[in-house]
C-alpha cells in the first residue's frame, strides 16, 4: 500500500479491498486481523481523489459493520495518530472522523472509556490541521464539519444512556465542544468566510443539551463541575483532562460568539439580557467571569477580532449602567486577587499591542472599569503590582494618570457633598478614598524604585514626568484645601521627598545633561530634549517642597 501513489492505482486497490469485504465467503478471522491496519491504508488512499474517497467510505462502512466496535476505535485512533505525523491531507482525516462517528454510534457499552481513547486523538488532529488554514481552507472546513458530526454522534449515544455513565459522557462531551470551539475560532476561517458561525451554531446547541448555561461557562462553575465529574483521582483521568488545554478559552468564546451572533444565542437557547443582569448585580460573578475571560484575552492563538469583542462584552455587559457599588454580595477579595491581576495584565497587553487605536482606547476604558470594581485599598495593591512588573513606560504613565483621575473624582465628590474626606487612621482603618498615604507609597515605587537608586533616564522620562506632575497635583490640592489627607504636608514626608526622591533625580538629570552637553550626535540631542521636561517639572516640585519646609 505504501508504494501506491497514483489515483488510478489507489482506486483499483480500494475496489479490491471493498470486493473482498463484500464477499460472503471471506473469512471473518482474516477480516478481523487486517482490520487493525486497513483504516490507515484506506484513509491514505482515499485522500488521493474524489472517486477514491467514495470507495474508501464504503470500505470503512463495511469494516464498521463487520468488526468489533472496540477494535475499530483502536484501529481508527492508531490511523489518526500515524497519519498526523506524516500527512496533512484533510480528506484522509475526514474519512477517519467519519469512521469514528459511525463506530461510536454502534457501541453498546464502554462508551466513556472509548470516548477517552478517541477524543484526545481527534483534538490533536484538528489542532495540527487547522493551524494550516491558508494552505487548504476548503479541506479544513470539511474536517471541522466531520468533527461536528463526531460531536453529534456522541450526543446521540448520550440520549440512550442512564445515570452515572450518561453524566460522565455529557461532561466529556461538554469539554470536547469547548475545545473544538476554541480551535475553530483560532483557525482563522472567520477572517476568510462567514461559514465559521455555521460550526459554532450546532456546537452551541450541544452545549445546551449538556446543561451548560452561559452564566456557568463565563464564571467557570460549569467547567469545574465537568472536570469534577470526570476526574476520579486516577492518573489516566488527569492525562485525559490535559487533552483540553483551551476549554476556558472555549467557554469565553461560547459567550462572545453569542454576543456577536443572534443565531448562536438562539441555538443555545440562552437569554443574553439575563446573563447581563446576573453579572451586573453580583461582584462575585463579575470577578469569576474576569478570571475566565483572561484566557481569551491573553491567548496568542485567538484573533484580535474576538479579543476586541471580549473587551466590548466586558464593558457593556459586565458593568454597563450598573455601578459596582450596586453589588449585593460581600466578597473575600484576597481569593480573587491573583486572577484579577492576571486579567488586568491581559487587558494591558491589549492596550499595548492591539492593531488599531479604537481597540486600544476601548481596552483602556475596560481596564479602568475593572480597577474601579476593586475596593480602594486592594486597588492600590494591584496598581503597585502592575507598575512594578510592567516593561512599558507608556503603560506605567497611563496607570499614574488613572490614579490622578481617581484623586480628582474623589475630590469633586467630596466638594459636591460639602463634606471633607475623613481619615480613619486613628482606629487602624484605611481611608476609603485615594486621598490617603497609599498614594504617596504608590509614587515612591516610581520616584524611588525598590531596587534602589533614582529611576532610569531617559528611558523612564515619560513615567517620571507623570509621577512628578501627580506629586504637584496632590501637594497643590492639599495646600489649597488646607487638608493633609495623604500626609504630604508633614515635615517628615516633605524632607523624605526632597532628600530621597528629588535630589537624587536632580543629580542624575544634571549628570546626563553634562555628559551630552558637547555631543552633537542625534542620540545626544534626543536625550537632552527628553530630559528638559523632566528638569522643568522637577524644579517646580523642589520649589514647592522648599517653600513648605
| pLDDT, tens digit, 9 for 90 and up, residues 281-306 | 999 999 999 999 999 999 999 999 99
Other Cβ atoms closer than 10 A to 28: 9
Q: Report how far residue 11's alpha carbon sits from residue 324's, in angstroms, rounded to the nearest whole number.
A: 67
For residues 334-349, average pLDDT: 94
Lowest model confidence (mean pLDDT) among 20-29, 376-385, 415-424: 415-424
Cell 474623589 sits at which residue? 410
Closest listed residue to residue 424, CA positions, set 438, 413, 411, 412: 438
CA dihedral over 190, 191, 194, 195, signed as positive or negative: negative
CA dihedral over 297, 149, 125, 236, signed as positive or negative: positive
Q: Report how far residue 422's alpha carbon sits from residue 544's, in angstroms, rounded to the nearest whole number.
A: 25
| pLDDT, tens digit, 9 for 90 and up, residues 86-109 | 777 888 999 999 999 999 998 888
The per-residue pLDDT for 416 is 53
**Is the link from the previous residue into 458 a cis peptide, with omega within 30 of 0?**
yes
pLDDT confidence bin for 135, thresholds 50/70/90: low
Q: Report how far residue 547's alpha carbon sits from residue 339's, in angstroms, rounded to the nearest whole number.
A: 45
CA torsion, ordered 65, 69, 74, 77, to nearest 10 deg? 60
Residue spans of beta strands (DSSP E) within 322-386: none
**Is residue 4 pLDDT above 60, yes or no?**
no
For residues 148-170, average pLDDT: 90
- How many whole angstroms from its chain centre is CA 477? 41
| pLDDT, tens digit, 9 for 90 and up, residues 404-460 | 999 998 888 765 544 544 443 333 334 558 899 999 999 999 999 888 778 888 889
**What average pLDDT does the structure give for the chain?**
87
The per-residue pLDDT for 121 is 95
Cell of 315: 464593558
The per-residue pLDDT for 427 is 34
**Is residue 327 pLDDT above 70, yes or no?**
no
DSSP codes joined into one string, 85-144? TT---HHHHHHHHHHHHHHHHH--S-HHHHHHHHHHHHHHHHHHHHTTTTT-HHHHHHHH
**Is residue 24 pLDDT above 80, yes or no?**
yes
Spatial neighbors of 7 by CB under 8 A, at least 6 apart, are: 48, 49, 51, 52
| pLDDT, tens digit, 9 for 90 and up, residues 237-288 | 778 999 999 999 999 999 999 999 999 999 999 999 999 999 999 999 999 9
Q: Long-range contact list for 387-392, CB < 8 A, 24+ apart?
A: 387/442, 387/445, 387/446, 388/445, 388/450, 389/345, 390/348, 392/348, 392/352
Query: Pick the residue with more confidence: 143 or 549?
Result: 143
| pLDDT, tens digit, 9 for 90 and up, residues 505-531 | 999 988 888 877 766 666 567 777 778
Query: Pick the residue with more confidence: 480 or 217?
Result: 217
Q: How is residue 187 annotated by DSSP?
A: T
The per-residue pLDDT for 171 is 95
Q: Report how far residue 480's alpha carbon sits from residue 239's, in angstroms, rounded to the nearest whole number.
A: 64
For residues 370-390, average pLDDT: 91
**Environment class of 543 (CB within 10 Å of its CB; exposed 0-12, middle 13-18, buried 19+):** exposed
Residue 254 sits at the vertex; the CA angle it makes with 252 and 255, to the nearest 5 degrees, is 70
Cell of 186: 483560532
If phi over 0 gives left and psi between -120 and 50 gives alpha, with beta otherwise, what is residue 163? left
Q: Report how far residue 49's alpha carbon sits from residue 32's, in angstroms, rounded to the nearest whole number.
A: 27
The per-residue pLDDT for 386 is 95
Amino acid at each position: 500500500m505504501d508504494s501506491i501513489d497514483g489515483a488510478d492505482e489507489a482506486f483499483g486497490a480500494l475496489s479490491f479491498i471493498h470486493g473482498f469485504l463484500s464477499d460472503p465467503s471471506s473469512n471473518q478471522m482474516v477480516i478481523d486481523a487486517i482490520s487493525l491496519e486497513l483504516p490507515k491504508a484506506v484513509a491514505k488512499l482515499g485522500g488521493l481523489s474524489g472517486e477514491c474517497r467514495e470507495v474508501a467510505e464504503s470500505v470503512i462502512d463495511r469494516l464498521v459493520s463487520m468488526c468489533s466496535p472496540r477494535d475499530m476505535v483502536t484501529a481508527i485512533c492508531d490511523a489518526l495518530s500515524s497519519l498526523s505525523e506524516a500527512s496533512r491531507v484533510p480528506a484522509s482525516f475526514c474519512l477517519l472522523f467519519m469512521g469514528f462517528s459511525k463506530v461510536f454510534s454502534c457501541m453498546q457499552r464502554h462508551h466513556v472509556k472509548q470516548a477517552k481513547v478517541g477524543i484526545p486523538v481527534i483534538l490533536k488532529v484538528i489542532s495540527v490541521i487547522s493551524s494550516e488554514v491558508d494552505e487548504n481552507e476548503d479541506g479544513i472546513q470539511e474536517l471541522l464539519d466531520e468533527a461536528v458530526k463526531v460531536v453529534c454522534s456522541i450526543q446521540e449515544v448520550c440520549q440512550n444512556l442512564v445515570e452515572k455513565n450518561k453524566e460522565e459522557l455529557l461532561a466529556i462531551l461538554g469539554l470536547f465542544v469547548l475545545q473544538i470551539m476554541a480551535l475553530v475560532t483560532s483557525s482563522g476561517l472567520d477572517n476568510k468566510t462567514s461559514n465559521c458561525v455555521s460550526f459554532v451554531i450546532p456546537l452551541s446547541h450541544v452545549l445546551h443539551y449538556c446543561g451548560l448555561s452561559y452564566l456557568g461557562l463565563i464564571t467557570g462553575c460549569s467547567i469545574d463541575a465537568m472536570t469534577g465529574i470526570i476526574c476520579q483521582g486516577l492518573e489516566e483521568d488527569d492525562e485525559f483532562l490535559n487533552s483540553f488545554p483551551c476549554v476556558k478559552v472555549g467557554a469565553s468564546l461560547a459567550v462572545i460568539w453569542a454576543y456577536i451572533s443572534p443565531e448562536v444565542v438562539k441555538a443555545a437557547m440562552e437569554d443574553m439580557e439575563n446573563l447581563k443582569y446576573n453579572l451586573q448585580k453580583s461582584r462575585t460573578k463579575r470577578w469569576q467571569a474576569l478570571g475566565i475571560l483572561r484566557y481569551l484575552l491573553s491567548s496568542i492563538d485567538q484573533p484580535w477580532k474576538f479579543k476586541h469583542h471580549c473587551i466590548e462584552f466586558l464593558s457593556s455587559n459586565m458593568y454597563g449602567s450598573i455601578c459596582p457599588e450596586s453589588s449585593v454580595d460581600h466578597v473575600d477579595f484576597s481569593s480573587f486577587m491573583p486572577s484579577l491581576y492576571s486579567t488586568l495584565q491581559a487587558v494591558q497587553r491589549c492596550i499595548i499591542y492591539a492593531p488599531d487605536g479604537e481597540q486600544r482606547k476601548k481596552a483602556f476604558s475596560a481596564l479602568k472599569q475593572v480597577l474601579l470594581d476593586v475596593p480602594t485599598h486592594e486597588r492600590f495593591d494591584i496598581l503597585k503590582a502592575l507598575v512594578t512588573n510592567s516593561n512599558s513606560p507608556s503603560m506605567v504613565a497611563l496607570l499614574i494618570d488613572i490614579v490622578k483621575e481617581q484623586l480628582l473624582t474623589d475630590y469633586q465628590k467630596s466638594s459636591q457633598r460639602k463634606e471633607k474626606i475623613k481619615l480613619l487612621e486613628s482606629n487602624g482603618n484605611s481611608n476609603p478614598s485615594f486621598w490617603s498615604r497609599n498614594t504617596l507609597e504608590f509614587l515612591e515605587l516610581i520616584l524611588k524604585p525598590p531596587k534602589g537608586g533614582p529611576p532610569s533616564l531617559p528611558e523612564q522620562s515619560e513615567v517620571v514626568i507623570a509621577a512628578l506632575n501627580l506629586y504637584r497635583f496632590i501637594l497643590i490640592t492639599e495646600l489649597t484645601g488646607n487638608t493633609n489627607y495623604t500626609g504630604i504636608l508633614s515635615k517628615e514626608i516633605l524632607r523624605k521627598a526632597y532628600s530621597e526622591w528629588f535630589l537624587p533625580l536632580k543629580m542624575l538629570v544634571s549628570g546626563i545633561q553634562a555628559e551630552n552637553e558637547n555631543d552633537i550626535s542625534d542620540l545626544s540631542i534626543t536625550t537632552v530634549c527628553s530630559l528638559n521636561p523632566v528638569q522643568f517639572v522637577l524644579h517646580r516640585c523642589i520649589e514647592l517642597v522648599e517653600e513648605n519646609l
